[in-house]
Amino acid sequence: MLSSVDVPRASLVRLRPARTRFYEEAEDQQSLLQAGLHGVYTVLCCGETIRIANCGEEFELLVSEVCTGIPPTPVEAVCIVDVEALEVDMGESLEGEEERIAQERRAEETARAAQAAAQAAAAQAAAQAAAAEAEAARAAAAAAAHQAELAAWLPAEPQAAARGTVRVLVRLPTTRISRRFGSGATLQQVRTWVESALPETLHGALGDRFELVSTHPRYVSRAGEGGETTLEMAGLDGEQAMLNLRLLE
């Protein structure tokens, strides 16, 4: 048994062409749609595909939404017969949507790859920084051990009031150091003390590559020279001897 169903009159129809070429080939889209719909279709259902001919070519369009009334209310189906003020709204083509989604997906993949590369670079940089920090700590520990070993070879520091005591002051690039020696101490022992007392930043860079220079009296102590020369022999046997540390290239 057949039964009739009242289909509301259309006020708005939203269509989406299957291919982007529709927008390129159909110059007057509204006129083409009006001609292709009226007399060909009486009812349009949401989700169906219709076909419209243009210059011998047939275009498929998806009915994405149909509405009735003012303001337009979405329904499942509408009648387009004798509808004078039918509004037809054209949306993005299905082909265009696929291309856009593909482009967005590629952009997301590119962004994820860039993020992964940045994270890998950050992890590598962190590993390198940790390795550099560990190497710096190892070098500092080795330098401290070397300086402690040098200090162990030095003679005991005499009392300030002891006879023949010389207070040796050495000017460094950013500070100065001092220690008491007997006048019979050798300049090599003074050099060993200076090397053992250098700040960490200088010790690693200098080692024993420096000269100790006295202005009054004029005397220069170089590594490997005058190992048995004493402070007294160098004329540095007063209560205080001032030496300047000069860096060697």
The CATH number covering residue 43 comes to 3.10.330.10
Give the pLDDT score at 3.
54
Q: Say if CB 147 and CB 189 are below 8 A apart.
A: no
Give the pLDDT score at 14.
94
CATH code of the domain covering residue 196: 3.10.20.90
Give the pLDDT score at 226.
64
Which of 72, 97, 122 delimits the end of a domain? 97
Q: In terms of DSSP H, where are the helices of 82-231?
A: 94-152, 187-197, 200-206
| DSSP string for residues in 24-73 | HH-SSHHHHHHHHHTTT-SEEETT-EEEEEETTEEEEEEEEEEEETTTTE
Count: domains in the chain: 2
In-domain check, residue 56: yes
In-domain check, residue 103: no
Q: Say if CB 173 and CB 245 are below 8 A apart.
A: yes
CA distance 86 to 74: 14
Give the pLDDT score at 85.
77
Which of 97, 118, 146 delimits the end of a domain? 97
- Residue by residue, pLDDT tens for the chain (249 residues) are 555 678 999 999 999 999 998 888 777 777 778 778 877 899 999 999 999 887 778 899 999 999 999 899 999 999 998 887 788 898 999 999 999 999 999 999 999 999 999 999 999 999 999 999 998 888 778 878 877 888 888 889 999 889 999 999 999 888 899 999 999 999 889 988 988 888 876 765 566 678 889 888 888 887 777 678 898 988 988 889 999 988 876
Total count of residues recorded for the chain: 249
In-domain check, residue 227: yes
C-alpha to C-alpha distances, 224 to 85, 93, 191, nearest whole angstrom: 108, 88, 10
In-domain check, residue 131: no
CA distance 235 to 230: 9
For residue 187, the enclosing domain spans 165-247
Instruction: Evaluate the omega torsion of the peptide bond into residue 217 and state whether it is cis, within 30 degrees of 0.
Output: yes
Which of 97, 118, 145 delimits the end of a domain? 97
Q: Which of 118, 241, 236, 242 is nearest to 171 (CA)?
A: 242
In-domain check, residue 128: no
In-domain check, residue 205: yes
Give the pLDDT score at 237.
85
In-domain check, residue 157: no
Instruction: Evaluate the omega torsion of the peptide bond into residue 74 and state whether it is cis, within 30 degrees of 0.
Output: no
Whether this prediction's pTM lies above 0.95 is answered by no
State the greatest distance between any 2 C-alpha atoms of the chain, in Å, as a whole number.
135
In-domain check, residue 43: yes
CA distance 15 to 60: 10
